[in-house]
Amino acid sequence: MVNHTPFIVGAYIVALVGFGGLAIASLVARRRIRRELSARGLERR
């Protein structure tokens, strides 16, 4: 009997890394751009 747990856990880790990584990268990029805009006095609410 093959143990399927590593494949199931692996799939959820792939999703966590993919979606979580993209969400973090998106937030970091937004923060960086806003900081640069702010440094030039161009921030917009």
Partner 1 sequence: MASLHVLANPARFRRFSQRVLPALSVATALALAVGLWLALVESPPDYQQGETVRIMFLHVPSAWLSMMGYALLAALGASLLVWRHPLAALMARAAAPVGAVFAAVCLLTGALWGRPMWGTYWVWDARLTSMLLLFFLYLGHIALSRAYDDSERGDRAAAILALVGVINLPVIKFSVDWWNTLHQPASVMKLGGPSIDPSILTPLLVMALALLLLFVVLVLLRTETEIDRRRLEAAEMAL
Tokens 């747990």 found at: 5
CB of 27 to partner 1, least distance (A): 7
Contact set with partner 1 (CB under 8 A): 2, 4-5, 7-8, 10-12, 14-15, 18-19, 21-23, 26-27, 29-30, 33-34, 36-37, 40, 42, 44
Compute the C-alpha angle 42/21/25, nearest 5°: 15
Least distance CB 31 / partner 1 (angstroms): 9
In whole angstroms, the minimum distance from the beta carbon of 25 to partner 1 comes to 8
